[in-house]
Amino acid sequence: MAKKTTNIAQISNPFLEAFTRNNDLVSFKVLLYIAKAKLDETVSLEKLEDKQTYKVSLNLLNISKYLNLDSRTIRNSISKLNSTSINYRRIVNGKDKETFINLLPAGEINYTDNTLDVWVFGELLKQIYATTQYSYVQTKNFIELTSKHSIRMLLLLERINNFSKNVAKRKRYELDELNQIFGTKNKTYSDFEKRVLIPAKKDLDKHSSMSFVYIKNKDKIKTRGRARIVAITIDLIKNQPIVLK
């Protein structure tokens, strides 16, 4: 097979949303690395069968170095991926489909030789390197993300980016909406800013082609003391991420 290097992940938005709903960022990094390794040796994504599993052979030391994770953490992530199934809906050739899939059907670690063999569905590989409804990330840069909220923010920005040309690339959100989108339970806008907006912006400014600025919308009714925040407006901005070698 022709050898290539897969530096760009085009992650299906429905898949990404389903994954981040119940899984941690470390597990996704491990899954992305596995998918990247398989795609680096695959001539054509279209030749992969959705329901067929494909073996991926990896060097445990290389994974540890690339992801900056110890072997125990990688082992725990493999175990978690093996026991996790997700479901997601998307439109395929004009048809509304829902897919139920095990993230990692099988895996085997050889501690003597420091090798890891895993088996992954073709369908899953196609969701990580999608051709429609995807969020674009540099694979190595994605590894550097520090917050799961950064992934959810990418999804939100992708929705904003898909607004029609005559509509401003911005959206106003109230706290209840934001908590629902990010799976949080913040009681104040200040808490949401500190726990979600600031770390997500720092991540995306450095590692994504899309980032954002935000405005705290305040109550226009004059009251004593400081004006109350009633919403957050998020503006999409194009960004030039730092390309990691």
Q: Are residues 97 and 17 in the same domain?
A: yes
CATH of the domain at 153: 1.10.10.10
Neighbours of 2 (CB within 10 A): 7
pLDDT for 159 equals 80
Rounded distance between C-alpha atoms, residue 45 and residue 35, angstroms: 11
Q: In terms of pLDDT, which residue wins out, 137 or 19? A: 19
Looking at the predicted structure, is the pLDDT value of residue 9 above 80?
A: no
- Closest by Cα among 1, 111, 114 to 54: 1
Looking at the predicted structure, is the pLDDT value of residue 235 above 60?
A: yes
Run of H or E residues at 158:
helix 148-161
Rounded distance between C-alpha atoms, residue 172 and residue 5, angstroms: 39
Q: Are residues 207 and 137 in the same domain?
A: no
Domain boundary among 110, 143, 176: 143
Segment 201-226 mean pLDDT: 84
Q: Are residues 162 and 230 in the same domain?
A: yes
Run of H or E residues at 134:
strand 134-138
What number of CA atoms fall less than 13 Å from residue 194's CA on the CB side? 7
Q: Are residues 34 and 133 in the same domain?
A: yes
Segment 77-97 mean pLDDT: 90
Domain boundary among 143, 169, 187: 143
- Token pair 């991420």 in the structure block, residue: 241
Q: Are residues 115 and 173 in the same domain?
A: no
pLDDT in tens, 64-78: 998 889 999 999 999
Q: Kindly indicate the confidence band of residue 107, based on its pLDDT and cuts at 50, 70 and 90.
A: very high
Rounded distance between C-alpha atoms, residue 20 and residue 31, angstroms: 12
Q: Are residues 136 and 46 in the same domain?
A: yes
Looking at the predicted structure, is the pLDDT value of residue 223 above 80?
A: no
- For the chain, the domain total comes to 2
Q: Kindly indicate the confidence band of residue 3, based on its pLDDT and cuts at 50, 70 and 90.
A: very low
Segment 220-235 mean pLDDT: 82
Q: Are residues 60 and 110 in the same domain?
A: yes
Domain of 127 in residue numbering reads as 8-143
Q: Are residues 33 and 104 in the same domain?
A: yes
Domain-embedded: residue 159: yes
Q: With beta carbons less than 8 A apart as the criterion, state whether 11 and 127 touch.
A: yes
Q: Which two tokens stand for residue 225?
A: 């003391």
Rounded distance between C-alpha atoms, residue 139 and residue 189, angstroms: 32
pLDDT for 241 equals 63
Q: Are residues 19 and 66 in the same domain?
A: yes
Domain boundary among 143, 173, 201: 143
Cα torsion 80, 84, 89, 94: sign: positive
pTM summary value: 0.71
